Amino acid sequence: MSSLLVVGISDVKMTKAPGVLITYALGSCIGVCFYDSAIRLGALLHIMLPDAPSKIDNVFKYADTGIAETLRKMESMGGSRSRITAKIAGGAQMFHVPGDNHLGNIGKRNSDSVRMTLLKQRVRMLGADVGGTFARTVEFDTATGVAKVRTYGHPDKDL
């Protein structure tokens, strides 16, 4: 049995095969699985908000700074920017308050920011399971690069 590394909210963890990374109950948050298949190095980032403010408390809380910092960490472990790919899950809207878009669009804003940042950083996105109104748990296996998405009330999905 390989080790299971738990990634919290506004957090990132990185490991090489055969390590398995997991993050639980993504609602509007997004889990980004980064993978360099040549050296089987994987990282799982759990962001909460789309764009970092000018004064940053925790880079991993935000999509833009979190992705940039994770890529830097992977490169320092021998990862190559040209090989690193990404898979994303989350960005749901858990509650819909009629006539209120303040709360509702944060999941969408998160997934837009994640996609945009990956594009800017020239990271290819190989799969996405975002949106909807349900939570997702993501288990990312660095031996295979497969991200398993588990939900309540929907079938499991492999990305």
Partner 1 sequence: MVASYEDLNELQLDAIREVASIGAGNAATALSSLLSQQVKIDVPNVSLMEYSSAIEILGGPETIACGIMVRLSGDMNGVILYLQELDFINVVLKSVFGKTASGYEELGEMETSALIEIGNIGISSYINSLAAFARMDVQLSVPAFCINMAGAMITVPMTEIGYESNKIMLLDGNFKCGGQKVSSKLLLVPDVKSLSELLGRLGVNK
122, burial (CB in 10 Å: exposed 0-12, middle 13-18, buried 19+) = exposed
The verdict on 89 binding partner 1 (CB under 8 A) reads no
Stretch that binds partner 1, among 12-20, 70-78, 119-127, 129-137 (CB under 8 A): 129-137
Single residue of 134, 148, 157, 159 touching partner 1 by CB under 8 A? 134
Output 36 or 139, the one with its CB closest to partner 1. 139
Please report the sign of the dihedral spanned by the C-alpha atoms of residue 69, residue 75, residue 81, residue 84. negative
Single residue of 18, 133, 143, 158 touching partner 1 by CB under 8 A? 133
CA distances from 7 to 11, 91, 97, 121, 124 (A): 6, 17, 29, 23, 22
The verdict on 57 binding partner 1 (CB under 8 A) reads yes
Is 33 considered catalytic here? no
Least distance between partner 1 and beta carbon 61 (Å): 7
Q: How far apart are CA 86 and CA 61, in angstroms?
A: 18
Which pair of tokens denotes residue 20? 């398995």
Stretch that binds partner 1, among 35-43, 77-85, 99-107, 112-120 (CB under 8 A): 99-107
Q: Where is 111: in which H helix or E strand?
A: helix 106-120
The verdict on 96 binding partner 1 (CB under 8 A) reads yes
Output 28 or 65, the one with its CB closest to partner 1. 28
92, burial (CB in 10 Å: exposed 0-12, middle 13-18, buried 19+) = buried
Single residue of 67, 71, 135, 149 touching partner 1 by CB under 8 A? 135
Binding site for partner 1 (CB under 8 A): 8-11, 24-29, 48-49, 53, 57-58, 61, 92, 94-100, 102-103, 106, 133-137, 152-153
